[in-house]
Structure 1
Amino acid sequence: MSIEPAIRPEIETRLSAVEAEDGVRLLLAIESGSRAWGFPSPDSDYDVRILYVRPRRDYLALSPVRDVIERVIVDEIDLNGWDIRKALGLMLRNNSVLSEWIESPIQYRDAHPVIARMAELKDRHFDPNGFALHYAKLGRTSVTRWLQAAHEVSVKRYFYALRPALAIRVLRRDPSRRPPMQLQQLMAEADLPPSAGEEIERLVALKANTREAGPIARAPEIDALIADELGRAGEVPARPPSEAFAAEANDLFLDLVEDT
């Protein structure tokens, strides 16, 4: 999960450029994608993700300011992220991606205190069914490209379906908390058959020496695991929606913006 020391100064330079060019304050700057998930390839991008807040006047303007910042990928650095208002809206819709950003083990900046408030708020109002359905959607997006196709699959796409499937399995076993983002932690909590665990470890080792788009032979046991778990998201219990969730998220947003 380490980032090469030589790349960190360049990432910090680009983060500072975002603040200066877009007039925003960064609240979170982390690594997402395969490096943080625990299965990088030799040519994996650096998936730098940010949450940011704008000056208060921008939120009061007649014309809304764009709520996404994106930079062109240069030298394998893929930098983009969301305005805090967009992020909070996604949090209310049980977006698992946002949850993973908050929990990423690789941080490029110290997180603003508001991020801890977001995590605490999400934990108190966590809807396991909402997360499971979101993971199922993410997994199926990858699966539809190869599950009924050839005997080989892009190594990247294989893992992009496997990790959501494992997250659903973990949620089925323990719906009381958000699943971890890293593959190895998911495996530890998923209670997998030994043969499946060994096969996944073999695939991780293979991916470490294979280009992201490189093909690998599909494993029937892993295919079956993915298909089964993506189809069982509906078994994860739902938590009734709470009006307090939206009210508290709104208070968090107002407190933050009033300080800018």
Structure 2
Amino acid sequence: MMVSAFFWIALTCCFQIISGNEPAIIHTNLGDIQGYETDMARVFYGIPFAQPPVDTLRWQPSVPVGKWAPQVLNATIPAPACPQSPSCTPSIVCPTITLKRFPPDKSGDQRSLLSSIATEWVFVCSTRVFARKTPSYSYVFRYPLDFNAWENMSYCNNHACHAVELPFLFETAWPNTTDTGRWLSKSMATYWTNFAKTQDPNKPEIVRVEWPRTIIGNEKYIYFQNPIQIEANYMKDDCDFWDTIGYKVHDF
């Protein structure tokens, strides 16, 4: 079944390429939009829903986009990607120096190593780059699920695996978690709700621990565990290393 499904997908992709793409135009009250039509769908890239949130529009309510008529909006190609930090050059150096800093485990089981690298490169350190460019509040969640929810993923027991904070943030863990877990859940919900209301997680509702804003040179963050703490410079040395590598995806 797996082979048949893959073969069908391969044939579908090939057929789509061979048949080519036909132009497709839709009409809106702002102007016409040109995309293209394949055998499977109509495709329109980068249709704006608001003016870009830059300069005086930053951190402000969305402003409707203006009409582009009589011009036709070209939606046949993806919009430009977000800016990325410079990557190491030449690219062949990147895996070499990475393996030197993070040598493979001699046991042959590289899951823990890959988990650490992915956590730092994909989430922690790339987030630090963003936090240094705009006002932000950073957090680390290290409270493992205190009830059995991982089923066959036993490696997440007693660990804070990816997205484990979501049941606490949205308070869906209440029926199963402990009193400590419910306290942590309520605290997180208060911070996030405060921020949604005032762009400050510390007001209007009173919080027990004030969440400081991340500032270059004093990069503090809130540490969600028991108890909640304020710490600074999370994984600084490793993130300094990853900054020299950059955060683009390479074709090695």
TM-score (norm 2): 0.30
Larger Rg: 2
